[in-house]
């Protein structure tokens, strides 16, 4: 499956490094929400959902974690281990986040406000959803 990552430009000098994320520039959508997770317990795995329409960019701004992506046919794993790396996740992609380092802070930028009705939280329901969508697409 195709994985899209971004290498954000670092503005570094003797004082340190600054990264700027801007909607419709280095982030490919209008940013309507930002959330982040931290204090992640050892061995925890979260996510376990797909979105019907939401687009997101994940940035592990501290520490590291792994993201499993699944488009219903193929799976891929991405290691997020530097704050200048962004992972773009579009709709119809199952994701799981795991292998968080103790200090991990995973930040997510999203193009929509939180909306539970956009979630598919069951893997079999996700596969059914894709199958139906695919069949409808072929009819159109």
CA dist., res. 94 & res. 50, Å (int): 4
The residue (of 105 and 137) whose beta carbon lies closer to ligand TYD is: 105
Determine, following the binding rule CB under 6 A, whether residue 114 of this chain makes contact with ligand TYD: yes
Q: Work out whether 38 is an interface residue with ligand TYD (CB under 6 A).
A: no
> What is the DSSP-derived secondary structure letter of residue 118?
G
Give the integer Cα–Cα distance in Å for 72 and 123.
Answer: 9
Backbone angles phi, psi at 109, to 5 degrees: -105, 140
Among the listed residues 104, 98, 84, the one whose alpha carbon sits nearest the alpha carbon of residue 39: 104
Q: Does 46 bind ligand TYD (CB under 6 A)?
A: yes
57 CB burial (10 A radius; 0-12, 13-18, 19+) = buried
* Residues numbered 5-34 forming contacts with ligand TYD, rule: CB under 6 A: 33
Residue of 26, 46, 47, 49 marked active site: 49
Query: Which CB sits closer to ligand TYD, 32 or 133?
Result: 32
CA distance 7 to 83: 9
Q: Is 49 tagged catalytic?
A: yes
Choose which of 35, 38, 76, 91 interacts with ligand TYD (CB under 6 A): 35
Q: In the bound complex, what is the minimum distance in angstroms from residue 9's beta carbon to ligand TYD?
A: 27
Query: Can you give the binding site for ligand TYD, defined by CB under 6 A?
Result: 33, 35, 46-47, 114
For the annotated catalytic residues, the residue numbers are 49
């Amino acid at each position: 499956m195709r994985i899209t990552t971004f290498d954000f430009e670092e503005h570094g000098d003797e004082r340190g490094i600054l990264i700027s994320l801007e909607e419709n520039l280095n982030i490919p959508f209008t940013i309507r929400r930002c959330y982040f997770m931290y204090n992640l317990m050892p061995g925890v795995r979260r996510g376990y959902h797909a979105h019907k329409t939401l687009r997101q960019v994940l940035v592990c701004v501290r520490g590291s974690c792994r993201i499993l992506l699944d488009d219903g046919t193929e799976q891929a794993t991405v290691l997020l281990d530097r704050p200048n790396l962004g992972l773009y996740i579009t709709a119809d992609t199952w994701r799981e986040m795991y292998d968080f380092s103790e200090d991990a802070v995973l930040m997510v930028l999203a193009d929509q406000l939180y909306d539970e009705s956009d979630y598919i939280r069951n893997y079999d329901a996700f596969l059914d959803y894709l199958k139906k969508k695919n069949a409808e697409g072929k009819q159109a």
